[in-house]
Structure formats: structure tokens, C-alpha cells
Structure 1
Amino acid sequence: MKLLALLLGPALALTLGVPLGAAAIATTVVAPAVAEQIRIDPCSAYPDQTNIDITGGEEAGVGFALPKWGSPRFQSLHSPAQTIPARIKALYVAAANRYRIPWQLLAGIGMAETRHGRNNHTSSAGAQGLMQFMRGTFAAYGVDGNHDGRRDIHNDADSIYSAANYLTRSGVTRGATGVVRALWAYNHSVSYRNDVLFYAWSYAGKAGQIVVAGDQEDCGDGLGDGNPSLPPLTSGRVAKMFAWAARQRGKPYVWGGTGPRGYDCSGFVGAAFRQIGIRMPRTAESIRLWAHKNGYRIRPSQARPGDLVFTNTWRGPNKAGHIMLVYNPATHTSWEARGAGVRIYHYTDFAGHHLYEFWRIGNLTD
């Protein structure tokens, strides 16, 4: 959703190996109205990103190519990508499927860190396990990958699943810039980042393509609970959205649908808000991040008509994959586009999910 010029920073960082803050941003001439929208909210200033089909996805607008490596490189210049033991590759693939990231990216880290466990020793800095976690980082982001009831920094499954968890929590699915930031969080080294990306693409092969199930735009860091001082949507604007939603009742769920013949989940919610002059990003996760700047989080018991509900589904446990528009909190019902098409459902169907958040959007003007 950002201008090409706004994407030049991460591109330069990848190509030249310079920190993001040092990358020059080129000047692009845009219409005054568009420039003002960029100033107010760059995430919602431009239309949908290019869609990349994701198997099993519930909405379009999700997906971007993993960025290529840049320079400088270090390890990969003298140590080519080694074959991956079958057991370790199976763990990479399983963890990648769980967190919806490319297995080749995990393999790139595993290669850079320990040669997929062949050099699995505690580092001079104290990092441990196949994916080389520091104790403090593992305590914060470690998960039980083999489901034995405990998290073990030296267990290969726990280490690999924890790396996938850490990458997604660090924003690896937020476009090329997100990949750069996540790899920097993993290891504060530009050459390390480029080595990992080189190895990842090596495992993809010459004809391979690596697609990240994520959003090209960066809609914020997702920290905090928003701005509760924002006034909520007026009842009149909520009623206008509901009147429009009622006219869409029965239309089919269509992957990538933004109307008027059919919708996917975020396409439907975005279209509903456009009826009252509010433009949102394309995907559920992008809208969730956007809400941190344009709304505030509430408890489920505080829900009122017009609020949004986000839950994780196909994008893994740390990302919103589905979005709902609260209709009647007394009956826990919501307007949604999902399997049976556009109609009223129960948002409590997702109450047991890892991510289950309620957000109130401010009474914004476009």
C-alpha cells in the first residue's frame, strides 16, 4: 500500500548491506490528496497489494516473495549450503507449516547457525541448540515443538519451532522490511542476514520460488492497545454499515472477493467501512495492525455493535487470519464472510483460539 519510493529503503538495505536507517528515500511526485493521506496513514493510502495465491488461505492480498540476499556476505562465500538430514528437514517443514513461513528460511538459519546440527555447540556468547538461542530469548519465545510437555533449548524440535515462533513474533511476515527486521532481531549482523537469505534461496533451487504468507505493507509495530481517547463510531455510521451488510446477505464467500458479487473476510469488512468513508488495509492482519493507530483494544465483555474481532486461523498462531464485524454483543453475533457466505454468525466460534482480540475503531474521517 505504500509508494514504490517508500519501499526503496529496505531494497537498498538488502542490496547494499547498509542499515535501514541509512538508506536514502527517493522523492516521488504525488497528488496533494494522496500525499496528505500518506502523511495521515501511509498504510491505507494505496490500493491492494499484488495478490499471490496461498493454498488454504481465507483471504487475498496475502503473500510476497522472500527478498534475495545482498552484500556483504561472509559464511556463504566459502561454505555452500549443505544437504539437510531428512529428520531435520521434516522438522523445518512441520514448523514452517505451523507458523506459515517458508521452510527454506528456517533451513537458511539452521545452516548459518550449526550446519543443521552438525556443529551444535554452545557459542562463545552462550547461544545453544540447533538454532542457537540465548537462554533469555528462549525463555521468552521458546515453544514445545515435540509436544512432550516441556521446552528444551537443546531439543531439535523445540529449537526449530521456537525459531519459527520468534521470527513471526518479530514481524517476518510484514513484507521485505519485516524480513530484514526479523533477521536483524535474530542476529545483529548484515552479513548474517545475507548469508541466511542466500542459503534459503539455495534450498529453493534455481527454478524455485519462495513465497511468504504475509503482507507487503507495514501497518505498524502492533505494540500496545491503541488510543482509548479516540471517540467511537457513531450509532448512525454503524447503522449505515449494517444496512449495507444486510443487502449483501447470501452473497458467496469468494477468495479474494472485495465485492460486489462476493467477498472474503477482510474484503467484506473493508467494504463495510468504505460505506462510511473509512479506508482500511486489505488483510485481517494488516487491519489489526492498523487498528493500533486508529482504534483501541477492548475486552470481549465490552463489545458493542461495529467493533472488530480478529482471530488466528490459516496464518498460524501469531497472526490474524480472519476478521469479523460485531453485530449484537448480547447474542455474540457478527456479520462475516466465511464458508456459508455473507451472513450473521457467532464470533464466539473462535473464542478458544490463540489470538482472539476485540478492537474499537475511532470515529475517523477519510
Structure 2
Amino acid sequence: MTSRVRIALLLGLAGVVLLTLVMAPMLMSTFPSFLGGGSLTRDDCADDGAVQVTNVSTTARSDIPSDYLEYYKKWGKKIGVQWTLLAAVGKRETDHGRSSLPGVRGGVNYAGAAGPMQFLISTWGGKAKIKIPSKFNGYASDGDDDGIADVYNPADAILGAAKMLKRNGAPADLRRAVFAYNHAIWYVDQVLEIARRYAADGTLDVPPEADPACDEPIVEAAPSDLVAKILAYALAQRGKPYIWGGTGPRGYDCSGIIYMAYRSAGLSIPRTTFGQWPFGQKVAKGEEKAGDLVFFNAGPGTSSSSPGHVGLVLSPGKMVEARCTLCGPIKVTTYRDRPNIVGYTRPLRNPAVLAQIKRLGAT
């Protein structure tokens, strides 16, 4: 072996050793005994207000502390990101708060990050604990309703992380969302691999509350066969992109998906949100049913008397929604926690639609 080759080999070995020394403290809490897989089970799709925890692999069940799992599931569902993604970030950052490294339970680490989800204090809001409500710029959140957004409190930190991932691309563009959390390709790859291991079906492709296995109960609960057709069409469009002016099949805007859902059942209603709002019979809050529309004061040129956004009610509190270009794909969301609801309407009670239903002989 020539001296030049020996030198090259020694330099390469030194590089590997250096990389190992740098990465080992971060990786030790992440991967030992973790990548072993395990049997998978599926969520039962129940939505009784309780946090469902059956949608986890045996690997996740044995690795994630029960309180952290509850927070991941709760805030993932509430904010609209994959709970597995939240859990993977928590694992990668601090081993779900079990790490003894600086900044996890107090103070900050060498980079100025703190808490179980390792927020930069500047990103959290300027200080570790912020009284809520107060004015600040950041992701500081109060996840346990104690009036304090505490970066060291997992209930608060996981909610903040969910908001950050959502703001940066989740649940659709996961690589972008994770890269925004930590600007390193290797970090993105590791987080997504952990998330897949935590996922019940081993994938990250289905947005929250968009599992086709959950469709059947929703459709079966429809008050009529006609409404069932409308809901089935809208649910089948989940995962497609928001496209302004879109009426499918590649993508839709908020009113476009509703217009086409009604068309799929043989009914004609106005195409735009501005036309749909005065068209249906007004429905009192709390009396809305599947097939009704819920309207929001959102978008340019809109007001409380001229709403610019609309969703299709699936059941009280849930709707199918095509929200905006940057809001991710069409999906099932909640609406009762939204602050800008204008009202509800029932297009099926419009006289023109009643005449169409009579001609169709539909029920």
C-alpha cells in the first residue's frame, strides 16, 4: 500500500470518527432499539371527543410516554398535522423529554433552544414563559389552559410545535415542514423515518381525519340517500389540491367542491361562495345537518354580510373544506372553533332545488 493511499484512508477514518463523535449524543436517544418495528393496528375512527390512542404501532406504544402520546394525538388532530410527525420531532429532539442534555428542563442549549420540542426562545416568543393572553410574535402556546405558555411544559410545547409544522407545510408537504423546524436534510430524513415507524399503517400519506376507512360511517349517517351521494363525492376529493376557480377533477376551490358534490347528486346550485350564501335556507347555529353549508368571513372583499369562504357540513362540528393554496390539501376539518363563522344554509330547501329533487324522484 502506498503512503498516499494510507494517508487518504487515515483521513477518511478520522472523518468518520469525528462525525460519530459529533452525532452520537444526538442519535443515542433516538435510534437504539427503536427501529425494530412491530405489529400495527388501525384507529377505530371514533370521534366522541376523547383522544384515540389505538392508532399506534407497538414500537410507538413502547417508546412514547403516555402523557406525551396524548398530547401528540390531541394537538395533531386539533391543529391538523399527523400526530406521528409531532411525535417524531419530539423523539428526535429530546427523546420525548427524557434527555438530560442542557435546555430540556431548564435554561437553553448551545444553540439557544429549550424545552422538550427544542424551540429557540426567540421563536417561542422572546422568553420561556409567557402570560396568556399577551402580545408576542412566536409559537408560544397554552396547551393546558393554565394561563402560561411554558416552553418546558410538554402540553404547551407540543401545541406550539404543531402550529409551527402546520404553518410550514404539514400535513401535505412534510419535508418542507420538517426542514423549517431544523434546516438539515439528514434531520428531515430521520424525523420522517421515525414518523413512519410510529404510524399504524407505516405511511404518512393520509392527512388527519382523511382515512377512507372512516368514510362509511359518515355517509351511512346521512339523513337521506341524496345527502349520502353529496358527502361521498366530497369525501372522495380529499388529498387533492386547492385550486382557485377549480371544479375538479384535479383540484377545487371552497365553493367548487360543493358545487360539484351537489352536481354529482343531480342537483344544480350556484357556483361561487357569493352565490351560494343567499341561495340556501338559513339555518340556526346548532341546527346544521350533513349536507348544509357553513360560511366564513374570510378572503379579500368579504364581510359578515358577504362571506367569502364556505365548507360542506359532514356532521355537527365537522366539514369538508378546500381552504387555500397554502393551507394544504382538501380535508376534513372542524369549524366550531373558528372565530369568523357568518352562518349556515341548507341548499336542499331552496325552491329550485326542491323542484329538481321532485323531478329526480330522489329521497
TM range (shorter): 0.3 to 0.5
Which protein has greater RCO, CA pairs closer than 8 Å, 6+ apart? 1
TM-score (norm: length of structure 2): 0.45
